[in-house]
Structure 1
C-alpha cells in the first residue's frame, strides 16, 4: 500500500465529525441531549469569548497586559469541550490558550485578566469550580488530568478530567505517557487536542508524519475521534459520547478537534510570516460563531436585534471586568514569591532577597 492510499484509508477510519455545515444547515439530526435554550446559551458563551479575546489582544497592544495567547476562531472547541462538564465534580487542566474553557467552567473573566496582568491570584478558581491553573509547560497538564481521573476512580467517583493541548503538545513524551497510563488503568480522562495546524510557526507537516492525531489512539487501545472544531454542535456531540464513556467506566478518549486560530500564537509573534492570507480567509469562512448564528436565525428563534443586544451586553460585561481587574492593587514582590508554598524554600528566599535588593538599588539610582 503506497503512502497516498494509506493516508486515505486512515482518513476514512477517522472521519471529521460534523453536525452543522459552514452555512448553518444540519448535516445530521440535532443531538437529543441539547434543549433549544441551551443552544442559545452556547452561542452566548462563544460571543462573550470572542469579545473577551479581542479586548485582551487590544489591552496587550496598549501595554496594559503582558504576553497573551489569543484563541479567536477556536470558540467552538473551547465551549463545546467544557459545556457538558460538572464544574464541581469534573476537572479541566488547561493550557495558556484554554481560558475560554475555564470561563465556561465558571472562572470569572476578572480572574483570567488578573493572571495575564501578572497577578498569580488570578489562577485561583472560585470555590466549587474545578479548573486547574493555566499550564505554560507543554503537555505536562495531560499527566495531571490522568492523575485526577485515576484519583476519582480510586475513590469510586464518576469523575471526568479533561486535559487540553495543541497539536504541538502531542510531540512531548508527556502526551504518550498520559495516553498509556489512562489506557492501562482505564480512567475517565479525555485528552482534548486542538489541532489548529501550527505549533507556534511549525506546521503539522513538520510536527508529525501521520495524517491524523486521532489515529494515535490505536496504539493505546482507546477510542480516537476527529471533530470539526469550528462546529460547536459536533464538538458537543463528541464530548457527550466521551463523557458518557468515562462516567460509565468505559475509559479514556482521545479527541482531535480540527480548528484554526485567527491571530498569532501569542502576541510576541507575527502569523503573517508563516501563514498565508488565503489560508486565514478560508478558515474565517467557517467561523464557529457565524455558523451557529445562521442556524439559530433559520429556526426563527433568534433575530438581528437579539444578536445586537447580545454583542453589546458582552462588550459591557467585559469592559466591567477589565475595569475591576485594573482597579485591583498590583501584587508586591513578597506575594510573587510567597504564593506557592506555605513555607518558602531556601532557593525562593534567596531569589526574593536578590530581587528586592536589585529593585531598591534601581529605585535609588532613579531617585538620585
Structure 2
C-alpha cells in the first residue's frame, strides 16, 4: 500500500518525538531524577514501520521494553512516559507500581509484559488463538530483541502460533547485542529470521533502519495473517546506539569506532534523507517538528515532576482482586 507524503511525515514525526523523549530520559537519569532507563535509540524505524502497518486501536500488541516509539504511535503520550519513568501515581500503565517501559495501554490493546524476556511471545500466541476462535480478522504483533529468541518461552510461543496458524506477527528487533553478547555467540544461524524455517512459518529479514521497508514487510505479514495464512517472523536488523540500559557501560564490549560507524545508518537520518529526496519534507517542516518535540518533552517533564507519587496504602490496589460480597 502506497503511503502519502503526509503519512510519511507523520511516521518521521513519531520517530523524532520518540528520540527526543529517549534522549531526555538519559539526561534525567544522569541528573538523579529517575532511577532507571532502558533505551530504544536506533529502534525507532522498526517500531514505527510496524505500528503503521497495523490497525491501531483494533489489533493487539505485546511489546517489549524498548518499544517507546511503537507505544507513542498507539497513543501513549510523552506525559504518560514521564509519569512512568518517575513512578508517579498518574502512570497509566500501573499507577507507579511497574518498572518503567513495561508498557500497558488498554485503549490500544497493548498488554504489559514481565521482566524476563520473551514471555510476551507466549501472550501473543494466546491472544492469536483467541482471535482465531472468535473468527475475527484481527492480528497481534509481538516484539523482542534477538537475544530473547534463545529463550524457551519464545520457541514455545512461535511453535504454538505456527502449528495452529495463528494471526501473529513476530518482530525481532535485532540490535546486534543481547546486553553485551553479539549474535554469533547467541545462535548458530546468521540471524533470527533463519529460525523460522525449522519452526514452520514465514521468515524474512528487513533493514530495520528503514521505516518504509519495515512498513512494507509488516504490511505483507499482516495481510497473510488476516487471510488465515498463519504467523510471520520479521527480523528487523538495526543497531542499538546506546548502552543496554542506564546501568550498562558498553565500552567494555564494543569500541567507540563501531558505534560511530553505525550512526551513519541512524534511522532518523535515513528517513529524513529519503523524505527530502522525494520532497516530502522541507527544512521548515523539519524545524517545526523539532521545536514541537522539544516543547512537548519539556511540558511532559514539568507535569511529571509536579505530579504526586502513589500513597503507600495504594500499593496492593488494583494488583489483587478485591473480595466481592453479595447479600
Question: What TM-score do you get using the length of structure 2 for normalisation?
Answer: 0.91
Matched, 1:63 2:23: no
Q: Which runs of 4+ in 1 moved over 4 A?
A: 124-127
Corresponding residue for residue 114 of structure 1: 83
The gaps in structure 1 that reach 5 residues or longer are 1-31, 345-368
The answer on whether the counterparts of 1:85 and 1:105 sit within 8 Å (CA) in structure 2 is no
Q: Match of 1:366? A: none
Matches within 5 A, 1:135-214: 135-214=114-193
Instruction: Return the alpha-carbon distance in structure 2 between the equivalents of residues 77 and 176 of structure 1.
Output: 22
1:173 to 1:126, Cα distance in 2 relative to 1, 3 A: closer
Of 52, 60, 68, 1:83 maps to 52
| Pair 309,227 (structure 1): closer, same or farther in 2 beyond 3 Å | same
Is residue 2:112 matched to residue 1:133? yes
Provide the C-alpha distance between the structure 2 equivalents of 1:216 and 1:116, rounded to a whole number of angstroms.
35
Instruction: Give distance in 2, aligned partners of 1:72 and 1:127.
Output: 25
Report if aligned partners of 1:73, 1:262 keep a CA contact under 8 Å in 2: yes
TM-superposed deviation, 1:204: 1.1
Answer yes or no: is the 8 Å Cα contact 1:226–1:257 preserved in 2.
yes
Matched, 1:304 2:283: yes
For structure 2, the residue ranges without an aligned partner over 5 or more in a row are 95-103
Q: Distance in 1 between matches of 2:114 and 2:287?
A: 35
C-alpha RMSD over aligned residues: 1.6
Task: Tell me which residue corresponds to 1:351.
Answer: none
- Aligned to 1:337, what secondary structure does the other structure show? coil
Following the alignment from structure 2 to structure 1, what is the Cα–Cα distance between the partners of residues 115 and 80? 17
Query: Where does residue 66 of structure 2 map in the other structure?
Result: 97
Question: Which one is further off, 193-202 or 294-303?
Answer: 294-303
Confirm or deny: 8 A CA contact 1:94 1:135 kept in the other structure.
no
Report the CA distance between 1:99 and its aligned residue: 2.1
Structure 1 position 340 matched with structure 2 position 314: no
* Residue 229 (str. 1) matches residue 208 (str. 2): yes
User: Is the CA contact (8 Å cut-off) linking 2:16 and 2:268 kept in structure 1?
Assistant: yes
Q: Distance in 2 between matches of 1:217 and 1:126?
A: 30
User: Do the aligned residues in 2 keep the contact of 1:222 with 1:253 (CA within 8 Å)?
Assistant: yes
CA distance in 2, matches of 1:102, 1:234: 20
CA deviations 1:200-242 (Å, max 9, x no partner) are 1111121111112101111121100001110111100100001
C-alpha separation between the residues in 2 aligned to 1:266 and 1:301? Answer: 35
Q: Take 1:39 and 1:283, find their aligned partners in 2: how far apart are those partners?
A: 23
| Aligned-partner SS, 1:164 | strand
Q: Which residue of 1 aligns with 2:6?
A: 37
- Whether the 8 Å CA contact 2:18–2:68 is kept in 1: the answer is no
Partner of 2:265: 286
CA contact (8 A) 1:227 1:238 kept: yes
1:316 aligns with 2:298: no
Paired residue secondary structure (2:265): coil
Name which of 245, 249, 253 aligns with 2:228. 249
Following TM superposition, by how much is the alpha carbon of 1:105 offset from its aligned partner in structure 2, in angstroms? 1.1
How far off is 1:305 after superposition?
2.0
8 Å Cα contact 1:228/1:259 also seen in 2: yes
Following TM superposition, by how much is the alpha carbon of 1:112 offset from its aligned partner in structure 2, in angstroms? 2.2
Structure with larger Rg: 1
- Could you tell me the TM-score, scaled by structure 1's length? 0.82
